[in-house]
Amino acid sequence: MRIGEVAAKSGVSTRALRYYEEQGLLGSTRTTGGQRDYAPSAVERVRLIQQFFAAGLPSRTILRILPCVETGHASPEVFDLLGAERARITATMAELEAARDSLDRMIDIAAHPTAEHCPALRTGEDAVDLAASGAGATSLAASSLAATA
């Protein structure tokens, strides 16, 4: 089966198929003309690889898991590997949640500016005291947001 046919049947680009080959996830033979020739089972393998990618696994991890798929037996090491990948994804989710919460605070400050966060709202001695203490620099991003809101 040619690369275009595998791509069409599996729903991925030919570029993705070439990448899978480079990573050792998919194999092919070459015709005498140098074109890739895939086994009919390549379509199912590509769909499985796509499922692993959708689960957040990097290609190096998928490469270590595929032999278990082929044999139908997962070793304790593979379960450990999958557990480690799950922990990595969970940590990334926590980092993204913290970033989202920080952005929510910035949005709230921009929507409801106060003198504490917006230099334009400061008057008299408050403006001088905050500028001298350096507090104004820490709220520069928030005040810029408030100005554009």
pLDDT band, residue 87 (cuts 50/70/90): very high
Q: pTM of the full predicted structure?
A: 0.69
> Is 87 found in the same domain as 29?
no
Contacts 24+ apart (CB under 8 A), 54-61: 56/85, 56/89, 57/85, 59/20, 59/23, 59/25, 60/23, 61/85
User: What percent of the chain stands above pLDDT 70?
Assistant: 83
The predicted-structure confidence for 18-67, as pLDDT tens digits, reads as follows 999 999 999 999 999 999 999 999 999 999 999 999 999 999 999 999 99
> Is 84 found in the same domain as 64?
no
Classified as helix, coil or strand, 36 is strand
Q: How far apart are CA 110 and CA 104, in angstroms?
A: 10
Q: How many domains does the chain have?
A: 2
Query: What CATH number does the domain containing 50 carry?
Result: 1.10.1660.10
Mean pLDDT (the chain) is 87
Nearest residue to 74 via CA among 64, 84, 59:
64
Q: How far apart are CA 19 and CA 98, in angstroms?
A: 33
> Is 61 found in the same domain as 83?
no
Residues recorded for the chain? 149
Nearest residue to 57 via CA among 78, 40, 75, 36:
78
- Per-residue pLDDT for 116 more than 90? no
> Is 125 found in the same domain as 62?
no
DSSP tag of 114:
-
Domain of residue 23 covers 3-74
